Chains A and B, each alone.
Chain A
Amino acid sequence: KAGVTQTPRYLIKTRGQQVTLSCSPISGHRSVSWYQQTPGQGLQFLFEYFSETQRNKGNFPGRFSGRQFSNSRSEMNVSTLELGDSALYLCASSLDPPQETQYFGPGTRLLVL
């Protein structure tokens, strides 16, 4: 079974631009979570989607948004990019409860100049 895939793997943007990252979960997984990883803040939870609905949200500004499609694929969008948004963005998928273990994709490395 294929793992979680994320595209693109690397991205360079400039301040003020917006960016969209994509995540395809493991086949059969309907929950998708997003995390931001930075050297200073570590790993922080952004949001979680299930059946096209956002169920949980972390403490990030409204510039960070996401959505999930009917095939469980998810996208996250960051508008008006700031230098501090430079990070590794990780997507994770999981089966329905009680099998809640999250399996991660390879991540998208975003550099904001």
Chain B
Amino acid sequence: AQTVTQSQPEMSVQEAETVTLSCTYDTSENNYYLFWYKQPPSRQMILVIRQEAYKQQNATENRFSVNFQKAAKSFSLKISDSQLGDTAMYFCAFMKHGGMIQGAQKLVFGQGTRLTINP
């Protein structure tokens, strides 16, 4: 079974600063995806970024980037130039590759990191 661990329950930074959220996972799978989702106070779960395990290049989406270390099973999220709207709960999630037959597999989530951006 896969497990995802987020060791930082809460973090707080000033607006415009850079912040890094940590995530480690445990799996024996070789083909999988990793995700970061954010859940603001509205409770809507929003996809931030996705990484395919077979890709060595780290994924980036505007101010969001990841540091994917497959051997270390580490997947951290860096938020640059943080904004007040980034205040949310951030979840790291693992999903093994299902393929055409098995299809979409379940997301395994970490416990989340509550990030607060202060003005």
Contacts and interface: CB of A to CB of B under 8 A. Distances in A.
Interface residues on A, range: 20 to 34
Nearest to A88: B43
Interface residues of B, number: 27
B44 A107 contact: yes
Contacts of B98: 97, 100
Contacts of A56: 102, 104-106
Interface string B90-119: 010001011110111111111110000000
Interface string B40-57: 001111110010000000
A64 interface: no
A34 B47 CA distance: 16
Interface in A58-76: 58
Interface string A80-111: 00000000101010101110111111110100
Closest 8 CB pairs of A and B: A104-B45, A45-B106, A43-B109, A31-B104, A94-B104, A100-B104, A106-B44, A97-B100
Interface of B: 33, 35, 37, 42-47, 50, 91, 95, 97-100, 102-112
